Amino acid sequence: MYHKVGPVLAGSHVAGHYVSEPAFRRQMNWLRALKFTSVDLAPYETAFLPKRPIAITFDDGYRNNLAFAAPAMKAAGMFGIVYLVSERLGATNDWDDGLEPLMAVSEVQEWIRDGNRIGCHSATHAHLPEVPEKQLLAEAIGAKDQLQELFGPNVKTFCYPYGQSNSTVKRAVQTAGFEAACGTGKGSNRADSDQFDLRRINVRADTWGPLFLLKLLRAYRNAA
Ligand SMILES: [Zn+2]
């Protein structure tokens, strides 16, 4: 799980969310050297897994993902999945520190043309367990419809804002037609994992080289 890739914006209070471009490039090269293969999280794809599958996910849809992460993934033969906030495309985030530009429609199209995938991160980045049922449906079904209208029918997976879900939220996400969803629980996933609360490995500014490799290989061993 990545958030922002590239230089830390002046005044940011969440510098830890940034992975520098050289560090990200190194991480992608390690994935390639260790013979990992990118996969999407949609079950049709995870049903036919390569030998060392890895889903490279980005929360929120920051423009710096397109600028810095997309070229590095392409160079390493990888692709990523960006989780978009459907009503905030082309805006800046109104969560965290509210400074970082989010991809606009044309930029998401470029991301997809580069071989990357998209998923849904709700309509407004709400705290889903706290919203009333009507809004919950808008955050799941409404957001899926909006993204599919813009980018085609392949919005099959969801990502809970702040990693927050409960049984009501999960049911709404399933009702909306999503096939899987990821949270922020740490680790790897197996065939019997909860497909609507997939675990991830958090990669942050302080995930220096050996720690990245340790997290990766520990998760891989646990999934095997
Ligand atoms: Zn988020």
Q: How far is the CA of 60 from the centre of ligand 1 (A)?
A: 5
Quote the ligand 1 centre to 58 CA distance (angstroms): 9
Report pLDDT for 224: 65
CA 76 to ligand 1 centroid distance, Å? 26
Distance CA(121)–CA(206), nearest Å, equals 25
For residue 44, the model assigns a pLDDT of: 76
Measured in Å, residue 190 CA sits from the centre of ligand 1 at: 24
CA 124 / ligand 1 centre spacing (Å):
10
CA of 57 to the centre of ligand 1 (A): 11
CA of 3 to the centre of ligand 1 (A): 8
pLDDT tens per residue across all 224 residues of the chain: 999 999 998 888 888 999 999 999 999 999 999 999 999 998 877 788 898 999 999 999 999 999 999 999 999 999 999 999 999 999 999 998 788 999 999 999 999 999 999 999 999 999 999 999 999 999 999 999 999 999 999 899 999 999 999 999 999 999 999 999 999 999 999 888 999 999 999 999 999 888 999 998 888 887 76
Sequence-separated (6 or more) residues with CB below 8 Å from residue 84: 60, 61, 102, 103, 108, 118, 119, 120, 121, 147
* Domains, in order of start, for the chain: 4-118+180-223 (3.20.20.370)
State in Å: Cα 81 to ligand 1 middle.
13
User: How many angstroms is it from 13 CA to the middle of ligand 1?
Assistant: 15
CA of 85 to the centre of ligand 1 (A): 8
Q: Give 116 Cα–ligand 1 centroid separation in angstroms.
A: 18
User: How far apart are the two ends of the chain, measured CA to CA in Å?
Assistant: 20
Separation of CA 98 and ligand 1 centre (Å): 12
* Residue 37 Cα to ligand 1 middle (Å): 25
Number of Cα atoms under 13 Å in the Cβ half of residue 66: 23
Contact 185, 197 (CB under 8 A): yes
Question: How, if at all, do strands 18-19 and 4-5 pair?
Answer: parallel
